[in-house]
Amino acid sequence: KIFYEMAKKNPTMRDPMTRQYVFLTVLSPSRGDFKRVTEIVNNGDAILIWPGVYNEAIIMPDRAITVQGATDPPVINSGSSLVAFGFYDQQGPDTILRNLIITGSKYAIESQYSQPTLTNLTLAGNESGLVIRDLPVPWVTNSIIWANSNFDVWCQFGCSLDYSCVPSNVQGTGSISQDPLFVNAEIGDYHLQSIGGRYSPQLGDWTSDFQHSSCIDAGQAASSSENEAIPHGSRINIGAYGGTPYASKASEGFSADSRTGILAPWLKNVIFTIPELELDFIEELNSNIEEGVLKSGRGDIIGL
């Protein structure tokens, strides 16, 4: 079953700006019978969360369920004294968190004796990001754990976070440790800056940036990027927006493999186009390319 309709049962939750609780649902409004969605789900069920900011602390049940954003990733904020998501009941890889932003919490995620799958998450602006006690450890991929005030990742017995953006002291296959280049974390905009284009909630439209996040097209190759806007580089983005229509766009002329967020070194003697960018940025960009030729157009490489 899919439980994304649950948030609509309370009339005060119909407007994304006024929703407060997604995991608390009204089963019988006439009796005031409140129960948590997590108390009524079964193995194989999914809870899809509509966009908005939700102020909750969730203890995950000992069932194989998926919790993920339904469209634009929602924000979970449990407050400075609580854990946003707790896994304490020996959950396995079939318990999945996906496409969520977790911020403003004591711990974004705490796991003990559990091995959930944590993928395409952004854990930022918390007291601490990911806390793993005892064994086994969660499966973590395609996630950004960055700029948490105390520590980003704490593992009691060591852990591996793969294809993620994490501090340099955290091990993991394909992971990077560069600044993810959030648009504006101070106002809660965790989209990734992109020269190729990224969605702006403030504008309600796509815009472009002067910098390009190294998290774009840097996720696990086996993860699907088909829902991302074109061009998407045929590889999923790291972070909560990865794999969604709101993922920041790839840009021909950038290489995710450079892992630096700057122009790749192979861009020399290249004729390519830049779509409607400021002149001073074009001049800055041109200074990074030997004998490069820039002109306005579609944003494609048109010759070597």
The tens digit of pLDDT for each residue in 267-279 reads 333 333 333 333 4
Task: Flag whether pLDDT at 1 surpasses 90.
Answer: no
Placement of tokens 């861009």 in the chain: 267
Q: How far apart are CA 201 and CA 51, in angstroms?
A: 12
The mean-pLDDT minimum among 31-40, 115-124, 198-207, 264-273 falls in: 264-273
* Cα angle 124-100-62, degrees, rounded to a multiple of 5: 110
Q: What tokens does 124 get?
A: 């930022």
5 pLDDT exceeds 70? no
Cβ–Cβ under 8 Å, residues 171 and 149: no
Long-range contacts of the stretch 228-234 (C-beta < 8 A, 24+): 229/197, 229/199, 231/196, 231/299
Across the chain, mean pLDDT equals 78
Structure tokens at 289: 């390319």
Q: Categorize the per-residue pLDDT at 193 as very low, low, confident or very high, splitting at 50, 70 and 90.
A: very high
For the beta carbon of residue 1, count every other beta carbon within 10 angstroms: 11
Compute CA distances 112 → 90, 92, 132, 184, 228, whole Å.
8, 11, 6, 32, 33
Nearest-5° angle of CA 100, CA 123, CA 74? 25
pLDDT digits (tens, 9 = 90+) for 70-81: 888 999 999 988
Determine how many CB atoms are found less than 10 A away from the CB of residue 128: 21
First to last CA, the chain: 52
Question: What pLDDT does 24 receive?
Answer: 59
Of residues 37 and 32, more confidence is placed in 37
| pLDDT number for residue 261 | 35
pLDDT digits (tens, 9 = 90+) for 114-146: 999 999 999 999 999 999 999 999 999 999 999
CA within 13 Å, CB half, 266: 9
What's the CA gap between 74 and 86, in Å, rounded?
A: 18
Over residues 290-299, the pLDDT tens digits come to: 333 333 232 3
Assess contact for 237 and 243: CB atoms under 8 A: yes
Backbone angles phi, psi at 69, to 5 degrees: -70, 140
Q: What is the band of 226 on the pLDDT scale with cuts at 50, 70, 90?
A: very high
The letter for the amino acid at 226 is E
Band of pLDDT at residue 40, cut at 50, 70 and 90: confident
Which of 276, 281, 270, 279 is CA-nearest to residue 299? 276
- Position 30 scores a pLDDT of 40
The secondary structure of 56-87 as a DSSP string is: --EE--SS--EEEESSSPPEE---TTSEEEEE
- pLDDT value of position 186: 94
CA distance 23 to 79: 16
**Mean pLDDT along residues 169-198:** 95
Q: Which long-range contacts (CB under 8 A, 24 or more apart) does 19-25 make?
A: 19/50, 19/52, 19/53, 19/54, 20/54, 20/55, 20/56, 21/54, 21/55, 21/56, 22/47, 22/49, 22/50, 22/52, 22/54, 22/56, 22/74, 23/47, 23/54, 23/56, 23/58, 24/56
- State the average pLDDT over residues 245-265: 57
Residue 288: pLDDT over 60: no
- Residues 88-109 have pLDDT tens digits of 999 999 999 999 999 999 999 9
List b or e across 254-282, with b for residues whose CB sees 16 or more CB atoms inside 10 angstroms. Answer: bbbeebebebeeebeebebbbeebeeeee
